[in-house]
Amino acid sequence: MRIDWLKLLACFVVCFSAAVIGGFFTSSSIDTWYSGLEKPVFNPPNWVFGPVWTVLYSLMALALYYYWVSKKSKRVGFMVFFAQLVLNAFWSIVFFGLREVWLAFAIILLLEAFILGSIYYFNKTSRKSALLLVPYAFWVGFASVLNYFIGVLN
């Protein structure tokens, strides 16, 4: 399979755009509001989140690319994927920017549903694309639990 470098680059730009938006709202709250929150004992140290999200956004970009270049990709798969990407960035805006923990919890549950939907639709045409999204689904599931317990503890 020949790599379409322009499409691959576009997928990375699209996915990391969500990272940049989320990071803008996250970075200003980490050392202030977020550091003052009570967190569950299983909350990872702050330094873990950057590398994990870098890997996950890269996997999302690759999943999008393989879906895009598959001969059977459908518009609905793209729509569900882009919806989860918007929800991903929106969660950071709500949690870190607006500091609305419970609204963010509702959004992250919706995000998880759209990630699972992306896996479902991607799997219909590109198993590789679907499998690349599985770590993302697990991480967001874990983040949902963190979000919930931060809400309960605060």
Domain boundaries in the chain? 5-37+48-153
Digit-coded pLDDT (tens) for 11-70: 999 999 999 999 999 999 999 999 999 999 999 999 999 999 999 999 999 999 999 999
What's the whole-number mean pLDDT along residues 78-95?
A: 98
pLDDT, position 38: 98
pLDDT over threshold 80, residue 1: no
The CATH number given to 5-37+48-153 is 1.20.1260.100
What's the whole-number mean pLDDT along residues 109-124?
A: 98
What's the whole-number mean pLDDT along residues 125-136?
A: 97
CA distances from 142 to 22, 33, 67, 114 (A): 18, 21, 26, 16
Of residues 71 and 96, more confidently modeled: 96
Mean pLDDT of the chain: 96
Give the span between the Cα atoms of 79 and 46, in whole angstroms: 32
The torsion angles phi and psi of 40, rounded to 5 degrees, stand at -65, 160
CB 67 within 8 A of CB 77: yes
pLDDT, position 42: 97
